[in-house]
Amino acid sequence: MKRWPVAPVHHTGYSNAMRPAVLALAVVLAHFVCAEWRTPRAAVFLGLAALVAVLVALTWPLALAARAPEAFAEWRAIVMQREGTVGANFRHLLATASWFTWPAWPLAAWTAWSLRARWREARLFVPAVAVLALVALIVAWGPMADENLLPLLAPLSLFAAHGIFTLRRGAAAALDWFGALTFAVFAVGVWLGYIAMLTGVPAPMARNFGRIAPGFVAHLQPLAVLFALALAAAWLYVVFFTPGSPLRSLARWAVGVVLLWGSFAMLWMPWVDYQKSYRSVALQLKSKLPVGAKCLAQRSLGVSQAAALDYHGGIRAQPFDVAKPAACPLVLVQGSPKPELDAPPSTAGMRWTKLADVGRPGDRAERYRLYRLER
């Protein structure tokens, strides 16, 4: 099958370009607000940095505009398009960030309260402005994608870290031991699940794994088990043998995250890959594509899904043109198992015929349907 350039699926170009600008905005404002940065040398540095940043940032857009004006106009239209409403983006931010940024966000709130009299200090002002500007950008521009929260983590963590040293003794101890006990419980659950997959004991847990991924057979992987045991030993050392300090709670949380996700990746990844991998989806779709197909369009295909289909099956799609639906007679749609409302609109004398309707084993939320336009 012919390979086409990957087209942007979520219109994140503008927001992605603005994220470095958000940090730049925070730094520029700090030169006016923070006394320690308001010096002649800082002004020279700021001017040179701004000049270099503008020159580097404009290099490829100017080159694209000069060599391919139509492509530049299309790119500009795509990146300037907003996704989602302000209300929907805000609700998604609250629902996702509440767990995605834990425990940084409660520590950041405590930092803002306990150090409110020192807000003009650059170490507090710069990350705080960056966080607020990024939140405003996500809410106003979208889209509702979890990966958009990743740029929040660095400035939020930098801001939250200063609150650790102002926590009362009881709060610091609670944060410390809550993190240790939480990750201990989850790590034990990961190991119990792995044992259940291998031996069938505990039986209720083994039945749940089999129901979610029917047909999966677990095999003992000695290297993975040894690595997971090494992670557990490192976590035990940090929990029981590190001296008490305000930073110990952060160390325990960090090591706990490594323990949990590292153990999960080592022990459960074959089971997850069996039911969540897009390999079978890509191969099934590829087998249904007509020989010699010149193009493939897509509707509602996610960024991660597009990358997975390209990796496993070499399937690349261009955006579906609503104004010219007949321009590409093959359309791939990512939808749900509900009654099909995702087929492209029919045109005069032509209709869309479904060639494939596939999904991943154990995934009841996603379906991938391939349509062909026929007379």
Q: Are residues 346 and 290 in the same domain?
A: yes
* Interatomic CA distance for residues 104 and 102, integer angstroms: 5
Q: Does some domain include residue 265? A: yes
Q: Does some domain include residue 82? A: yes
Q: Does some domain include residue 110? A: yes
Indicate if the pLDDT at residue 6 is higher than 80.
Answer: no
Q: What pLDDT, on the 0 to 100 scale, is given for residue 308?
A: 92
Interval 312-343: pLDDT, tens: 999 999 988 877 878 898 999 998 887 665 67
Q: Are residues 231 and 211 in the same domain?
A: yes
Over the range 72-89, which residues count as b (16 or more CB within 10 Å of their CB) and which as e?
Answer: beebeeebeeebbeeeeb
Q: What pLDDT, on the 0 to 100 scale, is given for residue 11?
A: 46
Q: Does some domain include residue 8? A: no
Indicate if the pLDDT at residue 170 is higher than 50.
Answer: yes
Q: Are residues 67 and 117 in the same domain?
A: yes
Q: Are residues 264 and 352 in the same domain?
A: no
End residue of a domain, out of 166, 201, 226: 166
Average pLDDT score over residue span 150-173? 90
Instruction: Tally the domains of the chain.
Output: 3
> Residue 91 belongs to what domain range?
13-166
Q: What pLDDT, on the 0 to 100 scale, is given for residue 339?
A: 60
Q: What pLDDT, on the 0 to 100 scale, is given for residue 5?
A: 41
* Interatomic CA distance for residues 27 and 49, integer angstroms: 11
Q: Does some domain include residue 95? A: yes
Interval 107-122: pLDDT, tens: 999 999 999 999 999 9
Q: Does some domain include residue 188? A: yes
Average pLDDT score over residue span 48-60? 88
Q: Does the reported pTM lie above 0.75?
A: no
Indicate if the pLDDT at residue 75 is higher than 60.
Answer: yes
Q: Are residues 22 and 149 in the same domain?
A: yes
Q: Does some domain include residue 117? A: yes
Q: What is the mean pLDDT of the chain?
A: 86
Q: Are residues 131 and 179 in the same domain?
A: no
Q: What pLDDT, on the 0 to 100 scale, is given for residue 341?
A: 59
End residue of a domain, out of 276, 297, 322: 276
Q: What confidence category does residue 196 fall into, taking pLDDT thresholds of 50, 70 and 90? A: very high
**Strands, E, within the chain: which ranges?**
297-299, 318-319, 330-335, 351-358, 367-374
Q: Are residues 31 and 132 in the same domain?
A: yes
Q: Are residues 25 and 157 in the same domain?
A: yes
Q: What pLDDT, on the 0 to 100 scale, is given for residue 369?
A: 93
Q: Are residues 236 and 285 in the same domain?
A: no
Interval 243-264: pLDDT, tens: 878 788 888 988 999 999 999 9
Q: Are residues 49 and 145 in the same domain?
A: yes
Element (H, E) at 69: helix 69-79
